[in-house]
Structure 1
């Protein structure tokens, strides 16, 4: 039985429970009302019998009759008439020794009265319920006194219990009808409520919904994507662990907190702008100070029934995918591709020059061949020797050499200002590539369109910070501090729209630079075409473990 009930839906269980409660309450109400009505009927019967008995006891005809030679002949017809007129079941007039003078059953006349008469003999009228010759009855016994006040007889008037039940039945019928109406109305209300619950719970039972909630809760907090649920007023109802990490929110505690307005969560403006919208979003890139997020957003609507055209917006579901590392790897790959192309071009150029030198030697012009080879070697080797002697950071060294080759290939003067010795910084190599590589690429692109293209790179350490300054011969960004926002580019106007927002995929490199600088706890300044980044150098306790990867 219990297992069968467990399979019921919530609506069915609620309907059965409400119906049972209503029936129980109705039964209790009927029982209480029946008990009260029975007491009222018995009180009415006692009062009526007492009034009839007292009326008879005070009647002079009765007083004279009980003292006559034949009381039965005098009083029996009188008693029968009074019973009929007063609608009582019996009137018994008796002698003080219980001998009956009158009775509804003539065969009982002259027999002993059954019941208590002691109080009446003492001159006190009383009422009681007693089982006599006519069965259980409500009777009143009153003394009949002569002129001197002496008790000369007794009169008992009563109504049988069967007749009181008849009177009670009419009142109980009304109560039962009212109870039935109450049960019907309650059942109807319960049925309507159960239909609503069945619709909103899709007919699922409590145990099934509990299991579903446990499964969904587990899935919600275990998926690798961020998930944000908002209500119809764009308040955040729920954010899973990954969303809390990506958006910088407190970790979910497991308790059901009240919906939180967006302006109370301290979200990055770019994220808050997307979450504040009411439309759907597909693969929109949002850059925060620490992450590059791809946002998808669906609108949730509610319909009363399938195909209902009057859909109501109840909220949104937003998924957040972290593409920070992907964008960084894309930038690194672009740097490596550029370096590879530059080296390939240089190899081709060196092959041409080598053929020229060989031709000069074959023509017997060895002095000119030596001069050509020495000049090319001096131009390319001077910077390499300077970098190799000063820089101990292998990633930074390789990056500068590659960018120098790229600048030479593009005909841009590339100057590097270094201290006598630049020790290993301990900064994550990926962050170094992102920051220095993107800034130099940005400078090379800006300088390429100037009459005398040049890029200057200055790297130094001071006050426990690595300071990287990169300047170019260009005019500097036209967008000021907005140059680090997603979609804002420093590329020439033909590569972007008039406002500086790229239309060819530009505008994410400097946004990644700002993210990396923020993650490392540094700061960045822009003065004209000069970008200066200051990064705190890790101490022994905070330096990254070689080979370690982000979790």
Structure 2
């Protein structure tokens, strides 16, 4: 299987390799076309430079007074031939011909052609114009210039022609060709080098994968992001998330396309790049379990991955289970205490102290029955009434005196609101009991009552109390006043308050008082 995959990988070229080969082909073609264009342009420039050169030579000779005087002398050749040959050799042209208006040559590179007829066009020169042309003369194809020679009176006395053969022009061009080719080769080398560097970087970025493999990886990646039940956020080195899946947007209430750390709930903003393992965080509506780990390849840190799991319902169920467990423990302790009292009554009867036995039994029954009767008559919500009765016994077991105030009264609610109230009241009492145990005379006082518009839960205790900053911390994330602990009680209370649009406040001026207010209409 491994060898089959290796062969498949060898047959399927990577994106980087394909791009490199494509770039190499394109660059080679472009450089070749550019080189050919440069060569053709250089050839055209060479012809143009030759025309300027021969034109400058003939005009210089024609305007020299000695040229007109030599033409009008008895032996023009004897005077002009040495001069023109010297100029020809100095300027590297192939011929300089001085002639009469009837084409008779006075000078020529080949002395044997002196006295013969000049071949080529002279009509425009006879009309007083300097011009150039390409013509196949006695020395072969050449670029030549022809210009008239005037005496002092302005009369045309002769013509001057100079030219360079095509063979010499080609030799000059070929001599300069290595420089052109060197420039083209250097450009090709630079282009290939740049393509190779880009290929290396792209190969590193794509990990040498072929296009079909990248496409398959993307499809799998997209399918996984949309199907997993956990929220996923991938962070690079910047402040914006590079990947955010649908579940993360739902759990964290993220609506914008781009997500930065500023958009996260408050408790998640401070995570930074740190590693986190199963850490509990709370938003205004959810209980979340957060994990965060760095992404490292080799020795280089690429970023971090944050996963978020929803534990809201689980936490609610656990809270209710804790409440029911506490209630069951209360009943168990009450049953045990009742058994002790019953044994005491029976023993007193057996000892003949009947009157004391009746007094003891009725006194204990009156105390407990009075609280039960009062709560059953004023608190029509059975779950809350049972919770308060259970918390009284639970507090007593822990050495805390819990009192339910006389003004406690509550109408019945629906099932959803009942669960919310149990969470609200139960967690406030639990926190108060824990805080009260830190004092010498531990006590807790609970009031659950209705006003015209609100349900008010007020819990006071003998503990140290919480200031506004401590309450704010407790509302945003798991927090506890107990050293080394990070509870969820007040944070869960805060969630209930937020869902129903209520308020939560604390007063530490006289003991500790926490007051929760929930609009009455939201609980009906």
Same fold at TM > 0.5: yes
* Aligned residue number for residue 253 of structure 1: 257
Do residues 442 (structure 1) and 431 (structure 2) align? yes
Q: Any idea what the Cα deviations from partners look like across 1:349-408, whole Å, max 9, x if unmatched?
A: 667778999999999999999988877765555444443443343432443344356457
Superposed, 1:179-328 pairs within 5 Å as 179-204=184-209, 216=221, 223-230=228-235, 232=237, 235-238=239-242, 240=244, 243=248, 251-253=255-257, 268=266, 270-275=267-272, 279-287=274-282, 290-300=285-295, 306=298, 311=299, 315-328=303-316
1:424 match:
413
Shift of 1:336: 1.5
Asked if the contact 1:294/1:323 (under 8 Å) is kept, the reply is yes
Choose from 494, 501, 504 the match for 2:483: 501
The 8 Å contact of residues 126 and 140 in structure 1, kept in 2 or not, is answered as yes
Larger mean CA deviation between 5-14 and 352-361 belongs to 352-361
Gaps of at least 5 residues in structure 1 are 491-499, 545-551
CA contact (8 A) 1:50 1:157 kept: no
- Give the distance between the partners of 2:149 and 2:334, measured in 1 at CA: 146
Query: In 1, distance between residues paired with 2:52 and 2:212?
Result: 55
Q: Tell me if the contact between 2:15 and 2:208 (Cα under 8 Å) persists in the aligned partners.
A: no
Could you tell me which residue of structure 2 aligns to residue 531 of structure 1?
514
Aligned residues: 503
2:145 counterpart of 1:140: yes
Q: Where does residue 495 of structure 1 map in the other structure?
A: none
Following TM superposition, by how much is the alpha carbon of 1:435 offset from its aligned partner in structure 2, in angstroms? 1.2
Structure with greater proportional helix content: 2
- 1:431 and 1:166 map into 2 onto residues whose CA distance is 101
1:105-124 matches, within 5 Å, as 113-124=118-129
CA separation of 1:168 and 1:55: change in aligned 2, threshold 3 A: farther
Closer, same or farther: CA 19–342 of 1 in aligned 2, 3 Å: farther
CA–CA distance in 1 between the matches of 2:174 and 2:376?
115
Tell me by how many angstroms 1:533 deviates: 1.5
Cα offset for 1:467? 0.6
What is the aligned partner in structure 1 of residue 490 from structure 2? 510
Q: How does 1:22-41 map to 2 (within 5 A)?
A: 24-41=33-50
Q: CA deviation at 1:535?
A: 1.1
Q: In structure 2, how many angstroms separate the alpha carbons of the residues matched to 1:203 and 1:243?
A: 31
Residues 1:469 and 2:452 are matched in the alignment = no
Q: Given that residues 139 and 165 in structure 2 are in contact (C-alpha distance below 8 angstroms), is that contact kept between their aligned partners in structure 1?
A: yes
C-alpha distance in 2, partners of 1:147/1:422?
134
Q: Kindly indicate whether the alpha-carbon contact (under 8 Å) linking 1:10 and 1:204 is maintained by their aligned counterparts in 2.
A: no
Corresponding residue number in structure 2 for 1:496 = none
Contact kept, 8 Å, 1:477 with 1:529, in 2: the verdict is yes
2-structure distance, mates of 1:141, 1:443:
118
2: distance between equivalents of 1:28 and 1:5? 34
Q: Are the counterparts in 2 of residues 91 and 155 from structure 1 also a CA contact under 8 Å?
A: yes
Question: So what's the TM-score if we normalise by structure 1?
Answer: 0.70
Change in 2 beyond 3 A, CA 1:416/1:239: farther
Distance 1:23 1:342, change over 3 A: farther
Q: Are residues 109 and 179 of structure 1, via their aligned partners in 2, closer, same or farther at CA, if it must alter by over 3 Å?
A: same
Could you tell me how far 1:301 is from its partner in structure 2? 5.1
CA–CA separation in structure 1 for the residues paired with 2:199 and 2:497? 59
Asked if the contact 2:143/2:166 (under 8 Å) is kept, the reply is yes
Q: Deviation of residue 464 (structure 1)?
A: 1.0
Taking the aligned partners of 1:403 and 1:435, their CA distance within structure 2 comes to 13
Give the Cα separation in 2 of the matches to 1:156 and 1:253.
80
> Which residue pairs with 1:549 in the alignment?
none
SS in 2 for 1:428: helix
Tell me the CA shift for residue 436 of structure 1: 0.8
**2-structure distance, mates of 1:322, 1:75:** 112
Could you list the runs of 5+ residues in structure 2 that have no partner in the other structure? 1-11
Partners of 1:214 and 1:23 in 2: CA distance = 41
Structure 1 range deviating more: 368-377 or 195-204:
368-377
d(CA) in 2 for partners of 1:452, 1:444 = 12
